[in-house]
């Protein structure tokens, strides 16, 4: 499954410049709306409010209410309407406030978007892009904090993306729109305020391949989305102790890029998967299984996993932090993989994430 | 109408002989709705349907041969054997299924209508669904959305008085569905769904209203299915007398009677028509039987679009 696309140039992006993840997303939307009149953005509060997370702020003024379309609180109806519009030649970008609410539209996403091409014997591709936030870390408690992208990655017929960097936030949308099939984009809520230099126009992101964000030789930290910054921080810590960690950003959760994952494991012989989803039945479980199936004889240690504790996400800061993958836990898991000493505090944190038992 | 009736009667035989399988829901008794509504639509319009869609598909012009081959799971089927009875599709005829999730097609239909509205194409999207679907959130979410955005959508509710085995009064707090739809600010009315002329007339007026830009319209078709819900249903929840009562209003025979009385259909012409349909359906069955199976090597086809395809 390869998405082809035309390279777009944005005069504003001719040299590196400071921006945020949120602004990068907005720029991507603006470019899509400017370059293709079939593109429109639809969702709750995307217009006058400017987007629940401020991503679409200002787009209403620029593109008008037909194309920046405030929808009623009807996840199923407006996601389904996006699917119908895609069938009729439009290129809808549908925004669902958070993955938690996408469950009200799960029927449309799974039973229609993901299946129409197949059930129709190839007659009805659904070129829709559905964006939503995911993840915890802002003390919003269980109903606003879960990471369910792994569930969507379970579904044949969908492509699932998780932009973790400014560049991916800026340049993933174009190839997503060029894909003839439904694409889900998961934006981790903790990333919107991340700022940094956006490299000069790199062209559309390659959404078929994972990216090695930091090369290393001793252990592969395999992750995506909101956990990428944590994995990179863990790699820094590990480097201080002389352990060279390679950080692989999956970028596309479905289809998984087995090659990049496998090449990394073949280099390092050890792997730790970091995934904010619950451990049981997680994406991390799938990756671990694949690494074991395909690279068993490359491995010098069992595949480690750092996931969220098996609990609905709590509100209290200490509890929420304890429930989520953290740098300490990642460091501990990596050390365990390379057979090094594991500091006691970090050990507890990692154990908790691994066993899913608090205390 | 007669084609739909005879086609499905043949399906019953084939099903009983285990030549076709799966869930199969017959439309027998409701033919006037599909035929009357489709008479009011043009080729440019779109139709979204349910799992009880043989009649809708035939009335839309999907060839009996392609439908029959689909039921046989053959590569020549209108969904290349991936859909079966509940998932008939024909993109060229703008027939968008074939949806086995009750209410699942309703938001999709709104989206087809939205695309027309946004691009200024003066087309109607017609969505069929049952009285059972009227209880689903997807209907109410979509009714609100369609009325709010004045979408060119024709909502056709086939009120056959039952959602599987649950009678209307047992699943709807207010059984006047047209009244409730009107509450969304849509033009809504109830129609005798056993009379093809009444259906066509209502659908034509609704389609005209929609084309004139007055937003979605809702038609509640009072109809009845003579057969069980599906081939698996022993039909224990209905009175035989009730069924017999409705059969007196058989839309197919009712039309034939009227045409005969008006001297527009002689006995001889009727026989000739029956013979022609019988031959057509024989041909469809034979073609389906002869058609190649979809090769198992192609199992994973159509899950995602072929590599390199992008929508220009
Ligand atoms: C969402 C969903 N719930 C339940 C079912 C099982 N089911 C199939 S048909 C049906 C009854 C629907 O009745 P109605 O909408 O009146 O349509 P009819 O069968 O009378 O044409 C039910 C409950 C389903 N297919 N989808």
Nearest residue of B to residue A76 by CA position? Answer: B138
Angle between helices B105-119 and A75-87 (to 10 degrees): 60
The Cα B38–Cα A7 span in angstroms is: 44
Q: Give me the pLDDT at residue B215, please.
A: 98
Q: Decide if A157 and B89 are in contact by the 8 Å CB cutoff.
A: no
Contact A124, A117 (CB under 8 A): yes
Which distant-in-sequence residues (6+ apart) come within 8 Å of A109 by Cβ? Answer: A79, A102, A130, A152, A155, A158, A182, A184
First to last CA, chain B: 40
Average pLDDT value for residue range B226-242: 95
Which runs of E-coded beta strand occur in chain B?
46-48, 125-130, 153-159, 162-163, 166-167, 187-192, 217-222
Full strand arrangement of the beta sheet holding B153-159: B46-48, B125-130, B153-159, B217-222, B187-192
B18: pLDDT strictly greater than 50? yes
Angle between helices A75-87 and B137-148 (to 10 degrees): 70
B188 closest CA partner among B196, B177, B199, B197: B177
Is A75 considered catalytic here? yes
- Extract the tokens encoding A118: 């197949």
Chain B residues within an 8 Å CB radius of A121 = 77-83, 89, 302
Which distant-in-sequence residues (6+ apart) come within 8 Å of A198 by Cβ? Answer: A13, A16, A17, A18, A19, A24, A166, A167, A170
pLDDT digits (tens, 9 = 90+) for A184-211: 999 999 999 999 999 887 888 999 999 9
Work out whether strand B217-222 and strand B187-192 pair parallel, antiparallel, or are unpaired: parallel
Q: Decide if B145 and A86 are in contact by the 8 Å CB cutoff.
A: no
Compute the distance from residue B102 Cα to the ligand 1 centre, in Å.
5
Is A187 considered catalytic here? no
Phi, psi of A193 (to 5 degrees): -90, 0
Contact B136, B157 (CB under 8 A): no
Grouping H, G, I as helix, E, B as strand and the rest as coil, residue A128 is coil
ipTM of the complex model: 0.92
Q: Bridge partners of B217?
A: B154, B187
pLDDT digits (tens, 9 = 90+) for B76-94: 999 999 999 999 999 999 9
Contact B125, B215 (CB under 8 A): no
Which of the following is catalytic: A31, A75, A286, A320? A75
Work out whether strand A195-198 and strand A17-20 pair parallel, antiparallel, or are unpaired: antiparallel
Q: List the residue whose alpha carbon is closest to atom 25 of ligand 1.
A: B101
Of A137-146, B54-63, B138-147, the least confident: A137-146
pLDDT digits (tens, 9 = 90+) for B101-111: 999 999 999 99
The Cα B143–Cα B219 span in angstroms is: 13
Chain A residues within an 8 Å CB radius of B48 = 84
Q: Give me the pLDDT at residue A200, please.
A: 85
Full strand arrangement of the beta sheet holding A219-223: A211-214, A245-249, A219-223, A271-278, A304-308
The per-residue pLDDT of chain A, averaged, comes to 92
B122 closest CA partner among B212, B48, B205: B212
Sites in chain A below the pLDDT cut of 70: 1-14, 343-359
């Amino acid at each position: 499954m390869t998405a082809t696309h035309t390279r777009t140039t944005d005069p504003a992006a001719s040299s590196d410049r400071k921006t945020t993840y949120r602004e990068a997303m907005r720029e991507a939307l603006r470019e899509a709306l400017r370059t293709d009149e079939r593109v429109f953005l639809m969702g709750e509060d995307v217009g006058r409010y400017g987007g629940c997370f401020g991503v679409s702020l200002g787009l209403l003024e620029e593109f008008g209410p037909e194309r920046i379309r405030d929808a009623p609180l009807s996840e199923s109806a407006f996601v389904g309407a996006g699917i119908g519009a895609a069938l009729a030649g439009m290129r809808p970008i549908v925004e669902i406030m958070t993955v938690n609410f996408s469950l009200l539209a799960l029927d449309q996403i799974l039973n229609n978007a993901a299946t129409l091409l197949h059930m129709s014997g190839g007659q009805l591709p659904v070129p829709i892009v559905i964006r939503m936030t995911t993840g915890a870390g802002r003390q919003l408690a269980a109903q606003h904090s879960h990471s369910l992208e792994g569930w969507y990655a379970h579904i044949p017929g969908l492509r699932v993306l998780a932009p973790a960097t400014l560049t991916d936030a800026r340049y993933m949308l174009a190839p997503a729109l060029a894909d003839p099939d439904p694409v889900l984009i998961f934006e981790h809520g903790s990333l919107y305020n991340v700022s940094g230099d956006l490299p000069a126009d790199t062209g559309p992101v390659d959404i078929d391949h994972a990216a090695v964000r930091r090369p290393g030789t001793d252990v592969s930290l395999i992750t995506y989305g909101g956990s990428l910054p944590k994995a990179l921080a863990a790699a820094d810590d590990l480097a201080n102790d002389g352990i060279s960690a390679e950080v692989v950003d999956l970028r596309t959760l479905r289809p998984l890029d087995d090659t990049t994952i496998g090449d990394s494991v073949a280099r390092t012989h050890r792997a730790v998967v970091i995934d904010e989803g619950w451990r049981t039945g997680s994406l991390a479980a799938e990756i671990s299984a694949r690494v074991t199936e395909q690279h068993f004889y490359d491995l010098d240690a069992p595949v480690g996993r750092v996931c969220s504790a098996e609990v609905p996400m709590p509100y209290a800061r200490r509890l929420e932090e304890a429930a989520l993958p953290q740098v300490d836990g990642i460091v501990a898991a990596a050390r365990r993989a390379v057979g090094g000493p594991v500091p006691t505090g970090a050990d507890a944190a990692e154990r908790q994430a691994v066993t899913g038992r608090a205390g | 109408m007669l084609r739909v009736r005879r086609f499905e009667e043949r399906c019953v035989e084939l099903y009983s002989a285990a030549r076709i399988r799966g869930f199969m829901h017959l439309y027998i008794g409701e033919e006037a709705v599909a035929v009357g509504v489709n008479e009011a639509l043009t080729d440019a319009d779109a139709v979204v349907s349910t799992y009880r869609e043989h009649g809708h598909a035939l009335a839309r012009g999907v060839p009996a041969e392609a439908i029959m081959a689909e039921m046989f799971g053959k590569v020549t089927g209108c969904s290349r054997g991936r859909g079966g009875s509940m998932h008939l599709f024909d993109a060229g005829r703008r027939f968008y299924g074939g949806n086995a999730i009750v209410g699942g097609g309703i938001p999709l239909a709104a989206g087809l209508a939205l695309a027309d509205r946004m691009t200024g194409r003066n087309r109607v999207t017609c969505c069929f669904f049952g009285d059972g679907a009227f209880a689903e959130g997807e209907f109410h979410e979509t009714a609100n959305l369609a009325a709010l955005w004045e979408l060119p959508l024709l909502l056709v509710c086939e009120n056959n008085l039952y959602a599987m085995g649950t009678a209307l009064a047992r699943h709807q707090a207010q059984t006047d569905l047209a009244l409730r739809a009107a509450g969304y600010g849509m033009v809504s009315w109830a129609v005798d769904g056993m009379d093809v002329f009444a259906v066509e007339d209502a659908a034509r007026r609704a389609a005209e209203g929609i084309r004139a830009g007055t937003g979605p319209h809702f038609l509640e078709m009072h109809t009845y299915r003579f057969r069980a819900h599906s081939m698996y249903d022993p039909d224990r929840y209905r009175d035989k007398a009730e069924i017999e009562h409705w059969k007196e209003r058989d839309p197919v025979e009712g039309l034939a009677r009227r045409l005969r009385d008006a001297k527009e259909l002689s006995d001889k012409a009727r026989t000739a028509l029956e013979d022609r349909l019988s031959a057509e359906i024989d041909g469809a069955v034979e073609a389906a039987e002869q058609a190649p199976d979809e090769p198992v090597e192609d199992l994973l086809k159509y899950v995602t679009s072929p590599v390199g395809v992008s929508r220009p």
